[in-house]
Amino acid sequence: MKKKLMAAVIGFAGISLTACGSKETAATTAAATTAAETTTAAETTKAPETEAKKEEGPAKVTEPITITFWHDRTSDTDHAFLQKSIEEFNKTNEYGITVEEVAQGYLDNVQAAIETAIAAGDAPELADLSCNGIPLFASEGVLADMTPYVKRDGFDMSNVVKELTDYVYYEDQIVAMPYTRGTAILYYNKDLYEKAGLDHAPESLEELNEYAKKIYDDSNGEIKGVGYTIEPTYYQHYLLASLNGIGFMDEDGLGASCVTDGTMEKFLTDWYTWTEEGWCEIPALSSASSAMQEAFYNGKLAAFVSSSNRATSISNKAADAGITLGMSGTVGYGGYAAPLGGGSIGIIGKDHNDQEIAAAWEFVKFLMSDDQVAKNHIETGVLPTTYSAVEGKELKDFWADEKNAGYRISYEQVKNASAPSMSLYTSEWNGIVRSAYSQVIQARDITPADAVKNMAAEAEALFPAK
C-alpha cells in the first residue's frame, strides 16, 4: 500500500484534496518545531555536487524569463488580488521575470492538473498546493528545495508564523511557503439569529444547533439554520477533533482511531440526524460551497461554515444582499474549535532548469514580503504569514476597526486550530472518508454505523500495522 501511495503523483491518482494543515509527524523533521530549529533547517543544506557550485551558491536569473503559476484563487476577490500582485511583480522585479497565472479551480483541481502535467513533462514552475499533495510531491523529488535561496538571501524563517510552517519542511528541505492558508469562520445572518433569541456569537456547537433549529422551526421549514460542505480534512476534521482531540487521522499520520473509538460514528450519526430533522443543510452534489453561499444570500440559510480566505468576498456579497453579516470563530462539541487549512506555494523543480527555479524563488520571496502579506489578508481574508506583517501598522490599524473583527478572529484562532497530520496517507484516507460522508449525507443510502464499519475496514487495509 505504501508503494501505491508513493507512486500516486506520477500515476495520476485522481485524489480528492481539501484545504488542510498539519501537526508534526514522522513525515516531517524537528526542523519545523521551533524558530531556532527552523533556522537550523534553513542553514543545513545538502552538499552541492562540486566545489564550484558550493562557492557560487544557487543560480540567479541572468536574462528575461517567463514562468507560470497554477493556483486555486478563483473567487472574485482572490483572483483580483493575485492579478494585481503579479502585475506589480512583473513591473518591478529587476530580472525581467514575467509571471503568468492559470486558475485550475480548487486545490484538488490544481493537484490533478499537476499530476498530469508532470507525467507529460509540461508542469508549471509554481503551484499552490494542499496538504495532501505536498508530502507526495516532496517524497517523489518533484518540489525544489528552497533552502539554498533562503540562506543566500537571508530570508528569516523564524519570521514565518510557526503554526503555518506545518507544510513548509520535508525532511531536511524547505519545499513550500505558506500562501493561501486559512482558518474556518462561522458566517451567520445576525438578524435571523437575534430574532431567534441569540444575542451573541455561538459559543459551542450545542448552542449553535439549538438556535439553528429554532430558526428552522420558526420559519416553518423555509430557512435552514446552518450548513456544512463535505471537507473531511477541514470542516469535519475540527468537529471530530472537538470529540477526540485528534480529528480524522491519528497524530502520527499512521492510523485513524476515530473509526474504532466511537467518535466517527457519533459525529456522523449526529450530522445525519441534523440533516434528517431538516434544519441543517444537505450540501449539493456539485459546487456545494457556491450553492450554500447562494442560499445564504437569498435568505434560505441562516449560517454556514467556510474558509476565512473567502471573508472579503462573502462580506461584499452579503452587504449587496442586504444581510447583516456576523463572523465568528467556529464551534465544536463543548466550545470553540477551528481547523487550519489552505494552500502553500511550492516550486516544481522536476524538469525545470536553474534559471526557472531561480525566477520562481524571486516570486515566492515577493509574495512573502510584509506588504504583500498584509494586503493579501486585508483584500481577501487569507491569513497573514509573517510576524513582522502581523505587527505592522497596516494590519494593526485594519484589525482595530470593529467591522474587521472577523479577520482578526481568523488569525487569533491559528494557535489553537486543529489540522490533520502531515502524512503520505492523507490523500487516500481523505478520499475514503469523503466517499463515506457523501453516501450517508448526500445519497443517504447507507447508515452511519455501516459507513463507519466500511471506513474501519478501509483504514486497516490502508495504514501500516503498528
Give tens-digit pLDDT for 66-82. Answer: 999 999 998 889 999 99
Residue 12 has pLDDT above 50, yes or no: no
Q: Which residues pair with 242 in a beta bridge?
A: none
Q: How far is CA 136 from CA 2, 5, 27, 250, in A?
A: 11, 8, 10, 18
- Place 354 in a pLDDT band, splitting at 50, 70 and 90: very high
> CA-to-CA distance for 314 and 359, rounded, in angstroms?
34
What is the per-residue pLDDT for 350?
95
Q: What per-residue string of b and e applies to 278-290 under the rule 16 or more CB within 10 Å gives b?
A: ebbbbbbeeebbe
Long-range contacts of 277-280 (CB under 8 A, 24+ apart): 277/213, 278/216, 278/221, 278/224, 279/209, 279/212, 279/213, 279/215, 279/216, 279/217, 279/224, 279/225, 279/226, 280/212, 280/224, 280/225, 280/226, 280/227, 280/228
Q: From 244, 284, 288, 247, select the one nearest 426 (Cα to Cα).
A: 247
pLDDT in tens, 266-315: 999 999 999 999 999 999 999 999 999 999 999 999 999 999 999 999 99
What is the per-residue pLDDT for 246?
94
Q: What is the pTM of this model?
A: 0.85
Q: From 14, 17, 356, 372, select the one nearest 179 (Cα to Cα).
A: 372
Mean pLDDT of 157-177: 95
Residue 374 has pLDDT above 70, yes or no: yes
What is the per-residue pLDDT for 1?
39
Any idea what the Cα angle at residue 426 is, between residues 42 and 148, rounded to 5°? Answer: 15
Residue 393 has pLDDT above 80, yes or no: yes
Q: Assess contact for 441 and 272: CB atoms under 8 A.
A: yes
Residue 262 has pLDDT above 70, yes or no: yes
Mean pLDDT of 447-457: 98
Q: What percent of the chain has pLDDT over 90?
A: 81
What is the per-residue pLDDT for 2?
38
Rg (CA), the chain: 22
- Place 108 in a pLDDT band, splitting at 50, 70 and 90: confident
What is the per-residue pLDDT for 56?
62
Q: Assess contact for 236 and 417: CB atoms under 8 A.
A: no
What is the per-residue pLDDT for 177?
98
Q: How far is CA 289 from CA 229, 295, 310, 433, in A?
A: 6, 10, 11, 18
- Place 94 in a pLDDT band, splitting at 50, 70 and 90: very high
Mean pLDDT of 392-397: 97
- Place 427 in a pLDDT band, splitting at 50, 70 and 90: confident
- 8-state DSSP, 441: I
Q: From 5, 15, 37, 13, select the one nearest 24 (Cα to Cα).
A: 37
Residue 55 has pLDDT above 60, yes or no: no
Mean pLDDT of 342-363: 97
- Place 16 in a pLDDT band, splitting at 50, 70 and 90: very low
Q: From 72, 70, 84, 18, select the one nearest 379 (Cα to Cα).
A: 84
Long-range contacts of 287-295 (CB under 8 A, 24+ apart): 288/229, 288/230, 289/229, 292/227, 292/229, 293/317, 295/224, 295/227
Residue 48 has pLDDT above 90, yes or no: no
Residue 42 has pLDDT above 80, yes or no: no
Residue 8 has pLDDT above 60, yes or no: no
- 8-state DSSP, 382: P
Beta strands 340-347; 126-129: pairing state: antiparallel
pLDDT in tens, 118-145: 999 999 999 999 888 898 899 999 999 9
Q: What per-residue string of b and e applies to 120-139 under the rule 16 or more CB within 10 Å gives b?
A: eeebbbbbbbbbbbbbbbbb
Q: What average pLDDT is seen over the chain?
A: 89
What is the per-residue pLDDT for 17?
35
Q: Which residues pair with 301 in a beta bridge?
A: 224
